[in-house]
Structure formats: structure tokens, C-alpha cells
Chain A
């Protein structure tokens, strides 16, 4: 069974750091690009960051560039999002998602349940 499970969310103060993890199983992890997508409470969906299957290419939303870093460990089947200098507007549920195709940008066919990040100003 294909699964992605996020962890690492929590409540932090503005300016602090947090690292999210996403543990996957049931598919050949290194063959798929992965994204982080977030959803603020009561709001819509927003791209945060993406990484190619090999980890050689990364992409970021302008709002998080230079503050967030996406990485992956293809041996441990885990995706990470290192978040620094957090702001109140980073408060959201963060989803780990799998790209459906063999390219870095495509539809998202597998979603985790998300991990909530709350940043207090």
C-alpha cells in the first residue's frame, strides 16, 4: 500500500525554525519528484517547494525562498522541509505529495494527511 506520513509540525514563535519529515512506503521513492503543499486554516492550497527524484533539482515558492530548504534521503525513503525564520503567515497544514508522472511538475496523485505548523507572532 502506498503511504506518505508527515511529522514534525508544532507551535513555534516567529523567527524560530522547524523541520518537517515525510516518511514514504509502497513505491519506488527515488523515481518520483515530491512536493510540499500547504493550506492555511480555512484557505486554499499553495505550492511551497519541490524536489526531483534524484534530489538534484529543487524549486521554491517566492514566499519561502531563502527561508525553506527541501531535501530527500532516497535510502531512508524520507522527504524533509527545513523551515527557518518562520512567520505568522507560514501557519498552515503542510502536505507531502507525490507527483503522478515522471516529471518534476505534474498532478499530485498521493497526499499525506498533513502536519500542522502554527507560528505565533
Chain B
């Protein structure tokens, strides 16, 4: 299985500031990479697919980049609802695998 590794495990950032989250794959997944946000007590929500394409109704402050094995999710100006857990997922090869998550907390 392809192993997805996210860093850092926890990121402390102030509201209004920029957050940068990383995801690394154990082998190339090309651009078959998605990002999800999970708020407490809720299901995950798709933010980014194809490594850099925003999903429907996702605001412009979210951007994704990368290809191959290194990927980044950037949130340009953090809003209160952005303090949550973020997961990356590769869908290049079966089984689709997720990273262990990055918890974004208020500084």
C-alpha cells in the first residue's frame, strides 16, 4: 500500500494568518491527491482534488500544490471554521490511503 505521511501532526496558527500543511507519498501518486477538512463531530469534506483543483463551493483561501510525492495545502487567511483536522488521500492506486491527519489549532 502507498503510505501517506502528513506533517506536522499539530499546527498552531493565529486567525487571519497563513497555514501550510504538507503531505508526502511513499511513491508517486502523480496528481491523484485530495485534501479534506474534518470539523469535530462532523464527516470530512472534500476541499481539493487533482492536487490543486478546488471542490465545489470551496473558498479561494484554500489552495493545493504538488505532484509525484510532495504536496502542500495552503490556507491563506485562517477563519474560525478552519481550525479542524486535515487529511490528504491518494487515489492513484488501490487501496486509496489517507494520511494520519494534521490538527490545525488556534494559537
Residues of A within 8 A of B (CB): 35, 44-47, 59, 61, 95, 100, 105-109, 111-114
Residue in A44, A47, A111 whose beta carbon sits within 8 Å of that of B96 in the complex: A47
Number of B residues, CB within 8 Å of A = 23
Distance of A2 from chain B, by nearest CB (Å)? 11
CB pair B43–A61 under 8 Å, yes or no, is no
Known A45-B44, A109-B46, A111-B43; further 7 A-B contacts with Cβ < 8 A = A45-B87, A45-B98, A107-B49, A108-B36, A109-B49, A109-B55, A113-B43
Distance of A43 from chain B, by nearest CB (Å)? 9
CB pair A61–B46 under 8 Å, yes or no, is no
CB pair A46–B43 under 8 Å, yes or no, is no
Query: Which 3 pairs, one residue from A and one from B, show the smallest C-beta to C-beta distance?
Result: A107-B34, A107-B49, A111-B43
CB pair A44–B100 under 8 Å, yes or no, is yes
Q: Within 8 Å CB of A46, what residues of B? A: 98
Q: Check A100/B49 contact, CB under 8 A, given A47-B95, A108-B34.
A: yes
Rounded to whole angstroms, the CA-CA distance of A37 and B17 in the bound complex is: 32
Residue in B36, B56, B91, B99 whose beta carbon sits within 8 Å of that of A106 in the complex: B91
Residue in B56, B89, B95, B99 whose beta carbon sits within 8 Å of that of A61 in the complex: B95
Distance of B32 from chain A, by nearest CB (Å)? 8
Rounded to whole angstroms, the CA-CA distance of A17 and B39 in the bound complex is: 31
CB pair A105–B89 under 8 Å, yes or no, is no
Rounded to whole angstroms, the CA-CA distance of A109 and B56 in the bound complex is: 9
What is the 8 Å Cβ interface bit string for chain B, positions 70-107, against chain A (1 contact, 0 not)? 00000000000000000101010111111111000000
Q: Within 8 Å CB of A45, what residues of B? A: 36, 44, 87, 89, 98, 101
Q: Within 8 Å CB of A35, what residues of B? A: 96
Q: Check A111/B44 contact, CB under 8 A, given A44-B87, A45-B87, A45-B89.
A: yes
Q: Within 8 Å CB of B55, what residues of A? A: 107, 109
Q: Within 8 Å CB of B42, what residues of A? A: 113
Rounded to whole angstroms, the CA-CA distance of A61 and B94 in the bound complex is: 9
Q: Check A95/B43 contact, CB under 8 A, given A47-B95, A47-B96, A106-B91.
A: yes
Rounded to whole angstroms, the CA-CA distance of A45 and B55 in the bound complex is: 20
